[in-house]
Structure 1
Amino acid sequence: MYLSFSHESSPPFQHRHESPAVASNPPRARTLSRHAVVLFPPAFVLTLLGVWALAETVVPEITDTDYHARLRLMRSAAVEHPDRPLGVLLGSSRTVWAFRPEQLTEPTGTYWVNGAHVGAGPTLNRVILHRLLRDGVKPDVVALEIMPSYFVKENSRFVSGHFAVADLPVARRYADKPLDFDYYFLRHRLTRASDLARVLDPFTGYEIHDPRGGHQIIETDVTPAERAKRTALALERNGPFVQSMVVRPGADRAFRDTIREITDHGARVVLLRAPEGPTFRSWYNPDGLARFDAYIADVAREYGTSVIDARLWLDEEDFYDSHHVLKRGADKFTARFAREVADALRQ
């Protein structure tokens, strides 16, 4: 009986001997799981950023398609018209639609290309000019539009969405807060990962410009109700800034650095005050506007640049929101711009 009992009891004793080793596995597995949960997000972010960097290297057009479309036009202009000075206009959405250089048919003189970009203020213009020079464009003259409200405040989130990795060292000097552009740049890369699908054809769905950069899609007219609606939206977006008209330090640095880099590369600069309707002009604080006008005049004197003041060139009916033009406004502006800038360059 004793021997039989001892023999039958041996498995339980053996089981109790092995149980500590078996019981230690669950805590270890839980630890590994926690580590995986903690490490996955940064690993995913780093991988996604790496994919973006690779995509930008192989297909740079994926980052700012509009810039690269205009870059092609400028390169073509330099090749097809080597005997004519190359003129490039940089500016905001105001000049995206207002300047239609295809209408300038004179066979001599400056050959103008519209290089304006929706949302471009001092910082984005600075980045675009730096890119153009880096990418081999050698303009003889640059017309630089001044969008007053963007000197007060630029949309960091929107602007950063058009930066490539190589643009950050240039752009971050002009941020309102340290690493402001870096934050929105990373945020864009994470939230717009679907844009990577465009690497196969970055120009899919892109609105092609005319041969010299004029926008193909431009409205001929709007109803009074539609004009009132859009003008109210323009007031909402610009009103607070044109009331203060305090130039932020980053905008001032970007503006001056853009002018300096243009002249350092042997090109001439012409500053442009774009057309505004009577309604838009009524929104400015008079004292603030006077200070801003004096600021622009001081910068122009410092760098020896001309200022073309087109603010009063058009009537209210030439705009659809008192600062973005209809086709008739673009026609008037383009014709007069060519004359005025030619006079300015002869001085």
Structure 2
Amino acid sequence: MKAVPPNTRFAFRSCGAAAPTARGHRERSSATALAIGFVVTVVVQFGIGQAVRSAPEAFSDPLYHDKRERLRAHSAGAPAGAGRPFALLFLGSSRTYDAVNAGAAAAALTHDLGRPVAAFDFATSGAGPVTLALHLRRLLADGVAPDAVVIEVHPAFLASQVWPPFETCWLRPIRLRPGETSLARDLGFPTDAPGAHGPRGLFLAGYEYRTHLLERYCPELSPLPYRLTSGPETDRHGFVRVPNLLPRQRERLRAWTREQYAPCWTGYIPGGCALAALRDALGTCRAIGVRTALLVTPESAEFRGWYAEPGRARIVPLLNELAREFEAPFVDAREWLPDDLIADGHHLTGTGADVFTERLVRDALAPWLRAQEGANHER
């Protein structure tokens, strides 16, 4: 056999000895990286979990949380007692937060009633009747004590022929507090307890709240079609002023609105869980002696025509019947404004909000509250 040159044997020995050493080094590096990744993941999840537990609704329902914090800084959110102004709260969707200038309403009512009035627009995007019923109960549980509440009714959210209800686009299970799931189901609203209410909310908070974290801190990456964070910045009374728009801008917005609410128009039948939720909100207020009124904000002629008959003709009789049941006034303001003061068919421009708020106070709120004051004095 031919002898292997010494330098070749050295090369073979070197290669054979080096291979296991390199492989072992790579394995140790991979194990270290995995361990570090695991520890970092646990620390991040634990940190997010701690943050969530310290302010749960800042992550689970930022729409409610952000508005409540603003209300707490407002005199309408102060505890009831001597020296606090008469507290008037508006509950509703985005139709209310850009229609009711609560600061102007409070000033006008203070002058008209001859006593201090504090008004706050506690409206949030996509808030249908079920959301309003839950938010009302939360506010009361959180120590808010209004003297009177105006509850907006968005007729599109009354569309009982849509299943699941249109409101599910916004009111997702993770937004509910523990214990609210059963109440929502009692109202006929389909929802399940989110995983965040169990151990996953404790150990996998970053995963459970991933969408809301993106919404709050990196909204351009959010996969949701409708925002769940605070949305437009409001004034200190909760009002959002929409700029006046050109005709072509209003036309584009109306086309988008019609598409957005398309499921609600065909075969329109008002009722369902939305009606049950309105009844729950009115009953909650009546049980604690809070005055209530129902309000439908202005809609353009085109928007009103999108509701299919015969359901469209049933809206006013249905709400009048509900108002009589709870002895609450019903304000049907759908035809109060010309179309050029309505941005997209149902959201008001800033000028529209000024005109609407003035008339709302003059024709509805002031007479209602004066009558209530007179009834209280007679007692």
Which bin holds the TM-score, normalised by the shorter protein? 0.7 to 0.9
Q: Could you tell me whether the CA contact under 8 Å between 2:181 and 2:191 is conserved in 1? A: no
Q: Is 1:138 matched up with 2:145?
A: yes
Q: Could you tell me whether the CA contact under 8 Å between 2:75 and 2:84 is conserved in 1? A: no
Please give the alpha-carbon distance, in whole angstroms, between the structure 2 residues aligned to 1:236 and 1:193. Answer: 25
Q: Could you tell me whether the CA contact under 8 Å between 2:303 and 2:345 is conserved in 1? A: yes
Please give the alpha-carbon distance, in whole angstroms, between the structure 2 residues aligned to 1:196 and 1:276. Answer: 30
Q: Could you tell me whether the CA contact under 8 Å between 1:160 and 1:184 is conserved in 2? A: no
Aligned residue type for 1:130: R
- Which residue of the other structure, out of 202, 210, 222, is the alignment partner of 2:235? 210
Aligned residue type for 2:122: G
Please give the alpha-carbon distance, in whole angstroms, between the structure 1 residues aligned to 2:174 and 2:350. Answer: 27
CA shift for structure 1 position 223: 2.3
Please give the alpha-carbon distance, in whole angstroms, between the structure 1 residues aligned to 2:335 and 2:242. Answer: 21
Q: Deviations over 1:135-185 (max 9, x none)?
A: 000111100000011111323142116714334333333354463x75899
Q: Could you tell me whether the CA contact under 8 Å between 2:268 and 2:309 is conserved in 1? A: no
Please give the alpha-carbon distance, in whole angstroms, between the structure 1 residues aligned to 2:216 and 2:253. Answer: 33
CA shift for structure 1 position 315: 0.7
Q: Deviations over 1:288-312 (max 9, x none)?
A: 1122222111111111110011111
| 2:182 paired residue number | 169
CA shift for structure 1 position 225: 2.0
Length, aligned pairs only: 295
CA shift for structure 1 position 247: 3.2
- Structure 1, gaps ≥5 residues long: 1-43, 199-203
Aligned residue type for 1:343: P
Q: In the superposition, relative to structure 1, how do residues 190 and 64 fare at CA in structure 2: closer, same or farther (>3 Å)?
A: closer
Q: Could you tell me whether the CA contact under 8 Å between 1:274 and 1:310 is conserved in 2? A: yes
Q: Deviations over 1:259-317 (max 9, x none)?
A: 10111121011000111111111212242112222211111111111001111111110
CA shift for structure 1 position 194: 3.7
SS of the equivalent of 1:159 reads coil
| 1:85 paired residue number | 86
Q: Could you tell me whether the CA contact under 8 Å between 2:189 and 2:273 is conserved in 1? A: yes
SS of the equivalent of 1:98 reads coil
Please give the alpha-carbon distance, in whole angstroms, between the structure 1 residues aligned to 2:177 and 2:48. Answer: 9
| 2:10 paired residue number | none
Q: In the superposition, relative to structure 1, how do residues 252 and 172 fare at CA in structure 2: closer, same or farther (>3 Å)?
A: same
Q: Is 1:156 matched up with 2:164?
A: no
Q: Could you tell me whether the CA contact under 8 Å between 1:56 and 1:164 is conserved in 2? A: no
Please give the alpha-carbon distance, in whole angstroms, between the structure 2 residues aligned to 1:115 and 1:249. Answer: 24
The 5 Å alignment of 1:1-347 reads 54-60=50-56, 61-75=58-72, 76-78=74-76, 79=78, 82-104=83-105, 105-106=107-108, 107=110, 108-152=115-159, 153-160=165-172, 163-166=175-178, 167-177=180-190, 179=192, 182=194, 189=208, 191-192=210-211, 194-195=213-214, 207-215=232-240, 217-219=241-243, 221-339=244-362, 340-345=364-369, 346=371
Please give the alpha-carbon distance, in whole angstroms, between the structure 2 residues aligned to 1:143 and 1:330. Answer: 16
Please give the alpha-carbon distance, in whole angstroms, between the structure 1 residues aligned to 2:123 and 2:182. Answer: 22
Q: Could you tell me whether the CA contact under 8 Å between 1:156 and 1:184 is conserved in 2? A: no
More helix by share: 1
| 1:19 paired residue number | none
Q: Which runs of 4+ in 1 moved over 4 A?
A: 50-54, 181-186, 195-198, 204-207
Please give the alpha-carbon distance, in whole angstroms, between the structure 2 residues aligned to 1:63 and 1:224. Answer: 38
CA shift for structure 1 position 133: 0.3
| 2:29 paired residue number | none
Please give the alpha-carbon distance, in whole angstroms, between the structure 1 residues aligned to 2:212 and 2:361. Answer: 42
TM-score (normalised: structure 1): 0.74
Q: Could you tell me whether the CA contact under 8 Å between 2:184 and 2:191 is conserved in 1? A: no
| 2:375 paired residue number | none
Please give the alpha-carbon distance, in whole angstroms, between the structure 1 residues aligned to 2:365 and 2:284. Answer: 20
Please give the alpha-carbon distance, in whole angstroms, between the structure 2 residues aligned to 1:184 and 1:230. Answer: 36
Q: Deviations over 1:9-54 (max 9, x none)?
A: xxxxxxxxxxxxxxxxxxxxxxxxxxxxxxxxxxx9xx97x98765
Please give the alpha-carbon distance, in whole angstroms, between the structure 2 residues aligned to 1:278 and 1:205. Answer: 30
Q: Deviations over 1:201-245 (max 9, x none)?
A: xxx997542121112x521x2222221111011111224413433
SS of the equivalent of 2:292 reads strand
Please give the alpha-carbon distance, in whole angstroms, between the structure 2 residues aligned to 1:310 and 1:86. Answer: 23
SS of the equivalent of 2:166 reads coil
Q: In the superposition, relative to structure 1, how do residues 129 and 197 fare at CA in structure 2: closer, same or farther (>3 Å)?
A: closer
CA shift for structure 1 position 341: 1.1
| 1:13 paired residue number | none
Please give the alpha-carbon distance, in whole angstroms, between the structure 2 residues aligned to 1:136 and 1:109. Answer: 21
Identity %: 27
Q: Could you tell me whether the CA contact under 8 Å between 1:53 and 1:165 is conserved in 2? A: no
Q: In the superposition, relative to structure 1, how do residues 338 and 59 fare at CA in structure 2: closer, same or farther (>3 Å)?
A: same
